[in-house]
Amino acid sequence: MTIHKEGYKIIAVTFLSLLTLNIILYSLTEIALLRLGFSIVSLVFFYLVLQFFRLPKRINTSHPEELVAPCDGKVVVIEEVEEPEYFKDKRIQVSIFMSPLNVHANWVPCEGEVKYVKYHQGLYLVAWHPKSSTENERTTVVIQRKTGQEVLLRQIAGAVARRIVYYVKPNQQVNRNEQFGFIKFGSRVDLFFPLGTEIVCKIGDITKGNETLIARWSK
């Protein structure tokens, strides 16, 4: 397991800030218990920051007709909805909620060509809020297979996550085991599939990005 590149700066700033605070505290007090307590809190906090940016090595060997989870988290929504931004018709939505303790990398769920990318500024409602999908800071990415089938991925910021990063651009070819983005400190990823797609996950399932099977393309 390695540290994701998105975490380098934050980890360095966190380390230097905690080190500075500990030096200041040690210079201001000789109370051993207070010094020890603050040092322990600092170590725990720094460990949590490291956890936010961990990047496990995962190799996807799924069948081309299968779509895997783009992120770690928990399936919280499976329903038929109207997708208003790109498709403008009925789709099957699967939403995966990412807690601050999850791996935050976002993987490509299937091979294909990026047909659409758009970043939206927005609010920071809690990720499970019904309006977070359309009103929060978010990025929409659409991938099209050679067969013409398309899947829409939407990265959604939450009350804690304040920074969405995406790496893809229109007309780019993407493959399994590649990352299309990163959401700092958690939030949610929505997937929108064509009607008739076989959804193999269920609400409450715990997902692993680039591993857990989510759906199969319809024949």
Q: Which residues are catalytic?
A: 187
Q: Taking Cα atoms as reference points, which of 193, 207, 218, 219 lies closest to residue 79?
A: 193
Q: Would strands 89-98 and 73-83 be described as parallel, antiparallel, or unpaired? A: antiparallel
3-state helix, strand and coil shares in percent for the chain, rounded to the nearest 5: 20, 35, 40
Q: Is 215 helix (H, G, I), strand (E, B) or coil?
A: strand
Q: Is 177 helix (H, G, I), strand (E, B) or coil?
A: coil
Structure tokens belonging to residue 166: 């995406």
The beta strands (E) that lie in the chain are given as 2-3, 54-55, 66-68, 73-83, 89-98, 105-107, 112-120, 138-144, 150-156, 164-166, 173-174, 179-183, 187-193, 198-199, 206-207, 213-216
CB atoms near residue 125 (< 10 Å):
18
